[in-house]
A and B are shown apart, each in its own frame.
Chain A
Amino acid sequence: MDTTLPDAFAPPQSSSSAAQGNEVPEDTANVNGAAPFVKVDDPPKFDLESYIANYTGRTRFDRLYLIGTCSTLLSTDALKVAVAEAKSGKDVGRYEKAVRALSEVAPNEPDAKLDLAWVKDTQRRVRAEGDRLELELRGYKNNLIKESIRMGNEELGTHYHQTGDSVSASKAYSRMRDYCTTPNHIASMLFKLINVAVERGEWLSVQSNVHRLRNAQSKPEDQAKNQPKISAALGLAQMHSGSFLEAANSFLLTDPSLGDTYNETITPNDIAVYGGLCALASMDRVELQRRVLENNSFRNFLELEPHIRRAITFFCNSKFRLCLDILDAYRADYLLDLHLQRHVSALYSHIRTKSIEQYLVPFSRVTLESMATVFAPEVVGGEARPTSATSPFVQELIRLIKDGVLDARIDLEKGVLVSNETDLRTEVQQNTLESLRSFNEKAHMRILRTSVLHAGLEVRSHDRKEGPPLAKGLAGRLSRGAGILG
């Protein structure tokens, strides 16, 4: 397999063109090796055809390719669609990548052979088209008509984008900035930049462009129209940078008027899933209830993905096993999602840790066994001593306690988890005593030091007795002693 990268931002292979070849190192850096290669053996719950029909644009191929390379069950189907998808476009690099992947999983498929004639033909057409657009742009520039130059750049950018040369695409789009005359133009340019950045996985640039969009002074109705897209893109970027709470907030702010308008990047279903998972991973029960379940605008999204809604409801009702069951059932789906794949484990472990935390809240002591039935049912069935110190579940608890997440202690004799009693009175007393003591010690040290200096008794090599230092020098040396005044 030539690409071991789990996400779809894999660089076009060097065979496509020299211009694209030089972006390879840059692109691999974006991926950061964040996730190891994922293989999903479980069958996902979605239907490939209808799933992919939700999307438009280049993300279709990225998603298909991801499913094809990661899922063992769907690989042939997905890759066949991916090949067809690539062939309908102009991106030769993608076509070659898809065919290579397909030939690895199903060498006998008729699609697994490279259609050399198509490749050559497309390459020629792409080059010709590119040359023509460059030429036109040069012409516009000579005429100095702003609007034409802007449109020329836009066309060129779109062309590069479609052919997979995203670096040149973003360059071309950026060049539009000087020729934009209305806020609308700026907004559309920024959206194009965001789309390219999302495809390339450059989340910082997504965020900065989102901020530029926010600050753009467009008309209120345009602002309202753009808002859902802006929130969705920002949420996506925040999720990728690991700040789940901010991401959840952004997704929750997304207006349901988003509808199908942003299908080249994200669908309302995705918003529901991403927002729901991020919220589950970062908010407590009250917040979830108030800000997610009782959020009228977000309800529209949640209705698209009822199981997320159910999971959140279960979490709020402290039915953690059911919540985790739902999430586990959909794990395969999320692992095959373009944006979620790399964050599934982090999100899930956050949610799990939070569930354990919340589960413990009402108890002062709880048996390890009952916890294990909720959080590790497979252990209870399988092992002889599910609650011994060596069982993975107890190890997990130990880790959580050591990290300071859980304020409790394990009693292995009785097999219970005892939450620590905080004795506020004693604690305050201890703290007071400690701060008094350390202040006294420090103050004493400094007073003494001042006296030593003043008496001219510093430690000297030959211990000669000398007069007191001059007042001038003293002031400088006192600077440390004076700290006691605070």
Chain B
Amino acid sequence: MTVSLAELTAASARLHNHTDLSDELYDDRIRDLVAYFRHLLSTDALSTFARDDFLLDNFDPSADSVAFLFILRSQIQKAKERTSENLPGDVWPTGKLWIRAVHFLKNFDRVQARYVGQEWRQLVELAGRAAQAASKPLLGARLVRDAMLRLDPSCAVFTSTHLLLVRLCLRARTYACALPVLDRHICYFPALVGRADSKAAQPLLCSEQESSLAFMGDASGLSSKLSSKDYLQYFLCGGMIYMALKQWRKALHFLGIVVSMPIAGSLSMIMVEAYKKWILVGLLEKGKLCPPPSLTSPHAAKMYQSLTRPYITLAQAFERDDVGRLKAEVNAAEHVWSTDNNTGLVAQVMNAFYKHTVIRLGKTFAALTMADLAEQALPWPTTEEDAESIIASLVMSSDLGARLLHSQKRTSSTMLRLSAVSHLPRLSHEMEMQVQLRNEGRSLKTLMSNLEQSNHQLGLSDEYIDNAQKNQLWAGSGEIPASEQVGLDMDEDIMGDLH
């Protein structure tokens, strides 16, 4: 069986001008089209076009996404069969098919793509693989990111593509590239949908959705099957990207997520890795040993304690202002840092120590000589010149708001003038502040709508909680089966927060 180009374009053209169609009709048509193409693909009907390099010129990816994707797919399939390679040369960056794929991923229609989730994901993964194979992860990273944001601007549902993206970015060392995705809060997992209200009337895939959750369910195929490892790795890698960008606070947040994930059974090594980095990043950001987030299970916290000894002793030395011990700890556990790939972070910890010492001094002094400084911060490392150069580098990296003043007399030592609160010019500071406030406010709003959504998904409403509490009271009077007691500790928390 063969099809002609005219047939294909005609079939695809049924989707054009969808603004005139009702949602139901549009939904039907896309489904029909997808079924049609799946049928064609399975019967090998598209093979006639496999070698026609210009066939795709007849389709516009932004209007004929479905047709474009299926034809591209069949062409890639054929190329694979021809070369009997997993990644034929045409797919590699700058190959013929690569250019087509890029063209599609940059321009596809986000509604139509929802119906072909699996094919879409496979294309994205292929592009990622090809970019890596060609040692051009940068190309892949950009492409994957843009495609993700195009499909789902909120990026609130975790998919396997997320993990692909952060890995590509880490490999390409283009850390900033991942930020648009990383900065959006992930709130859901695909598995969450479908189960919750499979019976309830599902909204149409093509209709305007409040939350991306509606079309990113398990069934959509937009994500491969997930396990806990995937999201742990994503957040750990995400944290590492933030570390590379020195956005310590966000890094700390990501690591905290990994550290505090609920566990059933034993810890994952990824979580232990994350906790090690959590300690170091905590020192860098806050200058103290941060306790694991409050959500961490006590069992996990205990395990962390015993598994990360050298890190904890390092942090304690830091907290005690003992520069000698800190140095000794850094040197003593050198092999630990290098096996954990944390040498870079540990090296920064030393700098952070000086920074925090000087900042503390800045609370007491407005200006003092280097000699006085050595006296006040007793365990100051070395000679005055060394201290001066350390401070100079801190000032240059704008970690420290201070000025060094050489005096004219050679004998007297350099004066260090520590500026107060903000050393930025008033106006630019204000502007920056407002931008930040606005950003946080926006993310708060998103989070709140996500919270509502997940409350809806979980069937958590005030009525439910009232009811649950009543049931508990009722159960509390009689004998309670052991298994139900688990549910009993919810009362104070939930009620306390509600009122």
Question: Among the listed A445, A459, A475, which residue makes an inter-chain contact with B271, where contact means beta carbons less than 8 Å apart?
Answer: A459
Question: Among the listed B185, B367, B460, which residue makes an inter-chain contact with A478, where contact means beta carbons less than 8 Å apart?
Answer: B460
Task: Provide the bound-state CA to CA distance between A36 and B375, in Å.
Answer: 31
In the bound complex, residues from chain B placing their C-beta under 8 Å from that of A388 are 372
Task: Provide the bound-state CA to CA distance between A483 and B493, in Å.
Answer: 6
Question: Among the listed B271, B295, B368, B458, which residue makes an inter-chain contact with A410, where contact means beta carbons less than 8 Å apart?
Answer: B368
In the bound complex, residues from chain B placing their C-beta under 8 Å from that of A458 are 228, 261-264
Q: Does A461 contact B (CB under 8 A)?
A: yes
In the complex, the answer to whether A479 meets B440 with C-beta atoms within 8 Å is: no
- A456 to B: closest C-beta gap in Å: 7
Task: Provide the bound-state CA to CA distance between A473 and B497, in Å.
Answer: 20
In the complex, the answer to whether A445 meets B366 with C-beta atoms within 8 Å is: no
In the complex, the answer to whether B441 meets A436 with C-beta atoms within 8 Å is: yes
Question: Contact size class for B?
Answer: 35 or more
Q: Does B468 contact A (CB under 8 A)?
A: yes
Task: Provide the bound-state CA to CA distance between A26 and B420, in Å.
Answer: 54
Task: Provide the bound-state CA to CA distance between A426 and B493, in Å.
Answer: 35
In the complex, the answer to whether B264 meets A459 with C-beta atoms within 8 Å is: yes
Q: Does B107 contact A (CB under 8 A)?
A: no
Interface residues of A in 396-419 (CB under 8 A from B): 398, 401-402, 409-414, 418
Cβ contacts B237-274/A at 8 Å (1 or 0 each): 00000000000010001001100111111111001000
Task: Provide the bound-state CA to CA distance between A443 and B185, in Å.
Answer: 10
Task: Provide the bound-state CA to CA distance between A476 and B35, in Å.
Answer: 43
Please judge, given known A-B contacts A454-B192, A457-B226, whether A449 and B421 are in contact too, CB under 8 Å: no
In the complex, the answer to whether B249 meets A411 with C-beta atoms within 8 Å is: no
Q: Does A3 contact B (CB under 8 A)?
A: no
- B263 to A: closest C-beta gap in Å: 5
In the complex, the answer to whether B454 meets A449 with C-beta atoms within 8 Å is: no
In the complex, the answer to whether B496 meets A410 with C-beta atoms within 8 Å is: no
Cβ contacts A428-451/B at 8 Å (1 or 0 each): 010011001101110111111111
Task: Provide the bound-state CA to CA distance between A436 and B442, in Å.
Answer: 10
What's the dominant secondary structure at chain B's contact region?
Answer: helix
Task: Provide the bound-state CA to CA distance between A396 and B234, in Å.
Answer: 53
In the complex, the answer to whether A411 meets B195 with C-beta atoms within 8 Å is: no
In the complex, the answer to whether B489 meets A476 with C-beta atoms within 8 Å is: yes
- B467 to A: closest C-beta gap in Å: 11
In the bound complex, residues from chain B placing their C-beta under 8 Å from that of A468 are 191, 195
In the complex, the answer to whether A411 meets B367 with C-beta atoms within 8 Å is: yes
Q: Does A452 contact B (CB under 8 A)?
A: yes
Q: Does A151 contact B (CB under 8 A)?
A: no
Q: Does B494 contact A (CB under 8 A)?
A: yes
In the complex, the answer to whether A423 meets B421 with C-beta atoms within 8 Å is: yes
In the complex, the answer to whether B437 meets A450 with C-beta atoms within 8 Å is: no
In the bound complex, residues from chain B placing their C-beta under 8 Å from that of A414 are 367
Q: Does A113 contact B (CB under 8 A)?
A: no
In the complex, the answer to whether A449 meets B295 with C-beta atoms within 8 Å is: yes
Please judge, given known A-B contacts A433-B437, A454-B458, A485-B498, whether A477 and B262 are in contact too, CB under 8 Å: yes
What's the dominant secondary structure at chain A's contact region?
Answer: helix
Task: Provide the bound-state CA to CA distance between A458 and B261, in Å.
Answer: 7
In the complex, the answer to whether A437 meets B249 with C-beta atoms within 8 Å is: yes
- A1 to B: closest C-beta gap in Å: 40
In the bound complex, residues from chain B placing their C-beta under 8 Å from that of A444 are 185, 187, 253, 257, 447
In the bound complex, residues from chain A placing their C-beta under 8 Å from that of B188 are 451
Q: Does B42 contact A (CB under 8 A)?
A: no
Q: Does A420 contact B (CB under 8 A)?
A: yes
Q: Does A484 contact B (CB under 8 A)?
A: yes
In the complex, the answer to whether A457 meets B458 with C-beta atoms within 8 Å is: no
Task: List 4 additional contacts besides A409-B420, A413-B368, A440-B444; criterion CB under 8 Å.
Answer: A413-B405, A426-B422, A455-B190, A459-B265
A-B contact pairs, 24 of them (CB 8 A): A410-B365, A413-B368, A413-B405, A413-B417, A426-B429, A440-B440, A443-B447, A445-B256, A445-B257, A447-B447, A451-B187, A455-B190, A456-B191, A459-B232, A459-B267, A460-B228, A461-B265, A465-B227, A472-B483, A476-B487, A479-B489, A479-B494, A485-B498, A486-B496
CB-based closest 9 A-B pairs: A486-B497, A479-B490, A455-B191, A411-B366, A461-B265, A455-B189, A476-B487, A436-B440, A409-B366
Residues of B bordering A, CB below 8 Å: 185-192, 195, 225-229, 231-232, 249, 253, 256-257, 260-268, 271, 293, 295, 362-369, 372, 375-376, 405, 415, 417-418, 420-422, 429, 433, 436-437, 440-441, 443-444, 447, 450-451, 454, 457-458, 460, 468, 483-484, 486-490, 493-494, 496-498
